[in-house]
Structure 1
Amino acid sequence: MSTKDDILNKIHLLIATNFSSPKDAYNFFDEDGNGKLNKNEIVKLLKEAEISGFIRGMVASKLIEGYDKEGDELISWSEFKAAVDEINEKK
């Protein structure tokens, strides 16, 4: 399994065990309530998912790069849902 798959699996596990839905997880990590996840909020999600502190910042940047379709360097709910759907497809 690749490192990306490992990270996505840890995020899936975090969401599945701690939240009633992906939307609840998204809202929880959207600390400023602006409807978008910024890099700091994503880093907190990765910390909760037990992603190594050494790579959290880099992983957050890569997640934004890979899923930010709007080009605003933030992750909207629809972009987050697309990532969750990708994780679920691999299950």
Structure 2
Amino acid sequence: MASKKSILRKIQIIITNHFKTPEDAFDFFDKSGDGKLSKTEIVELLKQAEISGFIRGIVSSKLIEGYDKDGDGYINWKEFKTAVKEINKG
């Protein structure tokens, strides 16, 4: 299975290579336009980042678990920014 570091690196690559800003990436993947990324929307981000289909569901759950600070089951813009900062540090 891919390591956390390699998964985060792939996410960083998709955000930096395909979007001008992290906000553009967030808006692109926020298909519902509700200002939050659902598990389904995060799975799509992982698909674009070429994360194996077998582990996308697990990884999306772990990302929500790790970055959903308000406990609503979604990743909002503020939580996404925090995740991007941590990914960029790694």
TM-score > 0.5, shorter chain as reference: yes
Deviation track 1:10-58 (CA, whole Å, cap 9, x = no partner) reads 0000011100000000000000000000000000000000000000001
Question: What's the TM-score once normalised by structure 1's chain length?
Answer: 0.96
SS of the equivalent of 1:33 reads coil
Where does residue 42 of structure 1 map in the other structure? Answer: 42
What amino acid does structure 2 have at the position aligned with 1:33?
Answer: G
Structure 1: runs of 5+ lacking an equivalent: none
Q: What's the Cα RMSD here?
A: 0.9
What amino acid does structure 2 have at the position aligned with 1:57?
Answer: G
Structure 2: runs of 5+ lacking an equivalent: none
- Structure 1 segments of 4+ aligned residues over 4 angstroms from their partners: none
What amino acid does structure 1 have at the position aligned with 2:81?
Answer: K
What amino acid does structure 2 have at the position aligned with 1:64?
Answer: I
Question: What's the TM-score once normalised by structure 2's chain length?
Answer: 0.97
